[in-house]
Structure 1
Amino acid sequence: MAEGIQGRIRRRRVFSERKDILNMYNDAELVKRYRLDRAGILLVTDFVRDAITPPTGRNRAIPAELKVITTLRYLATGKMQLCNGDDIGMTQQAASKMITQTLDALVTPPAAFISRFVKFPRMQDEIRQRKAEFREIANFPEVVGAIDGTHIRIVAPREYEAEYINRKNYHSINVQVVFDARYRILDVVAKWPGSVHDSRMWNECGLKEGFENGTIPRNCHLIGDSGYPSQPWLLTPYLQPRTEIQEAYNRAHKRTRCVVERGIGQLKRRFHVLHGEVRVSPAKTSQIVMVCAALHNLCKERNLDLPDEPDIGQQQLEDRPEEPNHIQPFVPDGVQGGILYRDNFATLHFQPEQ
């Protein structure tokens, strides 16, 4: 009897010591570990404080700042969540729960975090600035953004597993991203399985609708590779240039388009979780991509450095041969109009010097 009573006695809970991260490190050390400085971490926390702060202080409730820091550490390193918990003195279960809660809060519309930092320019002053920045690269005019797709490797999902196998034969989310000339993200779509072609993602995205319905002003163009359909607002290269004008257009197009490839490289260098296999559901992986995109722009806004790692130089990208497009892109109605528009655009802007 006594043994039974003793067995029912609750064990005393042992709490790990929590580290005061914001006061342990200076700004440079915080950026190295969490990609944001102290002010940036507090800014992100303010967006979601109400959503992730517990209603009471019972049981040593975890403060909002620590939840954000734990999430940033996971995104920055891609480490197993157990290691994240060890870093700041908590269990793997607690770390996993707070990362999920914080990601949910950051992508929830009332927080307005994503829309605050990832937005396509619509005001004329912003558009003129983006065009001028792109023109500095290779004298390619009227461009506000460079578009491409990138695959984020994921663990095989339980549902619709085959749809997530991409053409390189691994499971992924195919992410559509648009960068400006300063490597800031203007638009990101992170919901499509890896088997979906870039052109289909483009034809069903809200940004394309904005070009079509006029909410994005006229004379704005994106620049993309041959996997996309040629359209009056999406300029693609000539597959077989036949004239000096077309060759000059292609040279400038290739140099200008390097922006998106370098931008994707910067995003993945900054947030290593996007480098390897993300071992969560596709839906949660999509959240991770969206949050990383917004955080990348916040880092740009605060002029925070990238991790000190090798980068692909501009010249290396320009010298790299084009990869053949193994899958025929989906061709929408009206593509001939896009091809004719490109011909007129090239003739207008790329006449050979006399």
Structure 2
Amino acid sequence: MIALRYYATGKMQLCSGDNFNVDQSTVSRVIQRVTNALNHQDVVRRFVTFPLTAEAIKKHQADFYAVARFPGVVGAIDGTHIRILRPSINEPEFVNRKNFHSINVQIVVDANYCILDLVARWPGSAHDARILRESGLARIFETRMLPTRCHLLGDSGYPCKNWILTPYLNPQPGQQTRYNSAHKTTRCIVERAIGQWKRRFHVLHGEVRLRPERASKVITACGILHNIAKLLNMPQHDDIEDDGDDDNDEDGDANNINDNPADGRAYRTHIVSTHF
């Protein structure tokens, strides 16, 4: 209960100690133990799972297609910044483009707002595209580990690849405009999911007053609990969209660091010409 109260409110540990009539040191120890337990690899694998079978992928594709008739989508991806206490080590690396200290979290969700993949270990200065490029998720797609063709939807902060589709920056009327409209409607799911996640766990809204490595574990723990809440159909009364702390790069500068943008753009053109 001490740990859950901390995740849900983000209150100072002294306040939680008063609520439960225990010392602050006890609160700190309890939060750390529960957080470590939720970060155990067996727990993470059980509750945060990216679909790897053809049957599971097709189910996710059908769910996303029902949103705005966008084909082949297995997940929607975005980055969101979680504020942290100014760290004493490598402090400049944690300053993001909005000039506050944070951890840049990569999150992939399904059409039902459940988290499929969560990476919470990069400092705020890291670019969304770099986090993706060096993630296990990218290796899954790049090495063709998936049994059937599918793709993610991301904003223009990501490179356009044959497994992650981004919007046109200057769409032509007709098919490209229809593509962008369906893309936006479908990808908005990840923004709403992040909003729900942060609303349920207010510790993610404020400043996580822990060292970066411990803050990362708290973020992951909240991701695990979010999925558990979804599995149990726990009500969420204050659903909101994300709070604007994300590092969304709508100017498309991610294309400058894409190794081979032609492949992704050709695939996007194929999707546009055959479905829109």
For normalisation by structure 2, the TM-score amounts to 0.94
Taking the aligned partners of 1:104 and 1:240, their CA distance within structure 2 comes to: 46
Taking the aligned partners of 1:133 and 1:324, their CA distance within structure 2 comes to: 27
1:345 aligns with 2:271: yes
Picking from 136, 143, 156, the partner of 2:86 is 156
CA contact (8 A) 1:211 1:217 kept: no
Picking from 99, 102, 106, the partner of 1:169 is 99
CA contact (8 A) 2:159 2:258 kept: yes
Name 1:50's counterpart in structure 2.
none
Picking from 154, 170, 180, the partner of 1:240 is 170
The Cα shift of 1:90 comes to 1.1
Name 2:229's counterpart in structure 1.
299
Taking the aligned partners of 1:324 and 1:191, their CA distance within structure 2 comes to: 20
CA contact (8 A) 2:191 2:241 kept: no
Secondary structure of the corresponding residue to residue 238 of structure 1: coil
Q: Matches of residues 26-175 of structure 1 in structure 2 within 5 Å?
A: 69-109=1-41, 112-175=42-105
The structure whose Rg is larger is 1
Would the alpha carbon gap of residues 189 and 312 (structure 1) be closer, same or farther in structure 2, given more than 3 Å must change?
Answer: closer
Name 1:288's counterpart in structure 2.
218
1:183 aligns with 2:100: no
Aligned amino acid, residue 102 of structure 2:
S
The Cα shift of 1:312 comes to 4.2
Name 1:227's counterpart in structure 2.
157
Taking the aligned partners of 2:251 and 2:60, their CA distance within structure 1 comes to: 32
CA contact (8 A) 2:160 2:166 kept: yes
Name 1:277's counterpart in structure 2.
207
For normalisation by structure 1, the TM-score amounts to 0.74
User: Which segments of structure 1 move beyond 3 Å, counting only runs of 4 or more?
Assistant: 323-327
CA RMSD for the aligned pairs? Answer: 1.7
Picking from 181, 184, 194, the partner of 1:264 is 194
Taking the aligned partners of 2:105 and 2:187, their CA distance within structure 1 comes to: 17
Deviation sequence 1:253-291 (CA, Å, 0-9, x none): 000010000000000001000000111011011101111
Aligned amino acid, residue 39 of structure 2:
V
Taking the aligned partners of 2:30 and 2:44, their CA distance within structure 1 comes to: 19
Which segments of 5 or more consecutive residues in structure 1 lack a partner in the other structure? 1-68, 318-322
Taking the aligned partners of 1:293 and 1:97, their CA distance within structure 2 comes to: 21
Q: How high is the sequence identity, in percent, across the aligned residues?
A: 49
Name 1:200's counterpart in structure 2.
130
